[in-house]
Amino acid sequence: MTQLPIEKVQPGNNIRHALGDLGPLVKSIEAVGILEPLLVVGNTSDGWTVVAGHRRLAAAKKAGLTEVPASVVNFTEAEIAEAMLIENLQREDLSPIEEAEGLFRLEELGIARKEISQRTGIPPKRIKDRVHLLDLPKPAQNLVHQGKLPIDAGLLLANEPPDVVLAMIEEEISARDIKWRLEQVRQERKNADAMETLAPRIEKLREAGVPVVDRPKSWEQPAGTGGWVEIGQGWSKLDLPVREHAKEPCAAYWLDPGSAHSPARLIPACQKKKRHSFTGDSELKIPDAEKDHAETQAKKARAAKERAKAQEREAVYSTVENLPAETIQWMVLGFAGYSDLAEAAKRLDLETADALLEYAGQSKANLRRAVVAVALATDPLGSDGWGHRAAAVKALREAIQ
């Protein structure tokens, strides 16, 4: 240990921004002097540089000392820096940014993180996080240094581009809201990126005359897209191959600008679903349109046949059942020829036409039977062919049973 002239002892490149309150140390030095010698490197001609003991040197100057006790050691520059940094990193009053700068310089000296951890007692995860804080733009680093921005929030921001960080600092967003806001910013960026990627495609589509319009919100239907339908699988979508449909003149796109949960995208759509129906003019048919159509047609035909039958039956029933007895009698008498009546009489085991008329007059039931007999002998329902007539006769039979 030697006594060195204080004006020839220079502070080293210290990581600490401030030396803190030197008052008590100055008083102690004034009273008893410097008890622990400074650690310095250097020589008589160039002067000495403090490796450890910056506060003591500063306090000694304030106390008016002209000499300081020091141990001169023979360090390389890297060793000096290392020793100074390690000494300082062990202080408890370092701000996270000061700590980060010290750790960063040690890394710059080529010391592995693991070794830094062993020599300083700072866990590797904390070293990594602290150094990461230096990725923040300067104004944000200052806020962390001053304790105005929590380290957690600082670390979140350190992943972001400087403009985003600076904008958020400008807005004075609370640390609490930073996480939420960052997510929002990321999503917006994602949407913007997606839109940028889509732009050339949209331009190409529009040049080709394919409409691309903003996707309607579920509660509104902007002009021009009424009747559009999305191409794809699922409820209310048109199940057609997207690539094939893109060649159709009815091809169009909705532009979904994206939301908090999904990026912007183009949604293929069809402007005229009917083109792809069985009777539509497009070759691209809705799957099963033909089969469905045939099935529907057959079903319709069957239903029509059933209806016609029922109508015929109904007509005969109402004629026979609901007409007044006199009318039926009049029909039989008025419309059937004499030979027909005679022919009808045979069917009821009666001898003559007169006998049939007499029989018909005896009761309403007899009258009905007489009508059926006449119907079988003549063709009271017209000449629509045998099927028609047979159906009528069958219905008449049922009517009198």
Kindly state whether residue 250 participates in binding Zn ion, applying the rule CB under 5 A: yes
Helix (H) or strand (E) holding 2: strand 2-5
**Pair 279, 304: CB distance under 8 Å:** no
Among candidate residues 95, 97, 93, 32, the one with its CA nearest the CA of residue 60: 32
Tell me how far, at minimum, the Cβ of 277 lies from Zn ion, in Å.
10
> Please, which residue, 99 or 248, has the CB nearer to Zn ion?
248
**Contact region with Zn ion (CB under 5 A), list: 26-34, 114-122, 191-199, 242-250:** 242-250
- Smallest gap, in angstroms, from Cβ of residue 191 to Zn ion? 28
Pick between residue 269 and residue 353 the one whose CB is nearest to Zn ion. Answer: 269
The window from 65-73, 110-118, 247-255, 288-296 that contacts Zn ion (CB under 5 A) reads 247-255
**Is there binding between residue 229 and Zn ion (CB under 5 A)?**
no
Smallest CA-to-CA distance from 350 within 329, 330, 373 is with 373
Residue 269 CB, shortest distance to Zn ion, in Å, is 8
Q: Can you read off the two tokens belonging to residue 146?
A: 């001053």
Among 67-75, 100-108, 249-257, 314-322, the segment contacting Zn ion (CB under 5 A): 249-257
Q: CB of residue 215 vs Zn ion: minimum separation in angstroms?
A: 17
In terms of CB distance, is 48 or 228 closer to Zn ion? Answer: 228
Q: Which is nearer to Zn ion, 48 or 253 (CB)?
A: 253
- How many angstroms separate the CA atoms of 138 and 375, rounded? 110
Q: How distant is the alpha carbon of residue 220 from its chain centre?
A: 19
Number of residues that bind Zn ion (CB under 5 A): 3
Residues 6+ apart with CB under 8 A from 145: 17, 95, 96, 97, 98
- Smallest separation (angstroms) from Zn ion to the CB of 238: 7
Reduce the DSSP state of residue 52 to 3 states and report it: strand
CB of 159 to Zn ion, least distance (A): 45
> In the β-sheet with 2-5, what is the strand arrangement from edge to edge?
2-5, 67-72, 38-43, 47-52, 9-10
What's the min distance (Å) between Cβ of 248 and Zn ion?
5
Q: How far apart are CA 204 and CA 188, in angstroms?
A: 25
Close Cβ partners of 181 (under 8 Å, ≥ 6 residues apart): 168, 173
Q: How far is Cα 387 from Cα 401, in angstroms, rounded to an integer?
A: 21
Rounded Cα gap, residues 125 and 118, in angstroms: 13
Binding segment for Zn ion (CB under 5 A), chosen from 130-138, 254-262, 264-272, 389-397, is 264-272
Rounded least distance, CB 251 to Zn ion, Å: 6
269 belongs to the binding site for Zn ion (CB under 5 A): no
Q: CA triplet 374, 375, 380: central angle to 5 degrees?
A: 115
Least distance CB 303 / Zn ion (angstroms):
31
The long-range contacts involving 176-180, CB below 8 angstroms and separated by at least 24 positions, are 178/153, 179/153
From 149-157, 200-208, 221-229, 246-254, give the range in contact with Zn ion by CB under 5 A. Answer: 246-254
CB 211 within 8 A of CB 253: yes
**Encoded amino acid at 53, one letter:** G
Judged by CB under 5 A, which of 72, 155, 210, 270 binds Zn ion?
Answer: 270
Distance CA 119, CA 108 (A): 16
Closer to Zn ion by Cβ: residue 212 or 264: 212
Nearer to Zn ion, 61 or 276 (CB): 276
Of the pair 82, 248, the CB lying nearest Zn ion is at 248
Contact window for Zn ion (CB under 5 A) among 72-80, 147-155, 250-258, 367-375: 250-258
Q: Which residues bind Zn ion (CB under 5 A)?
A: 248, 250, 270
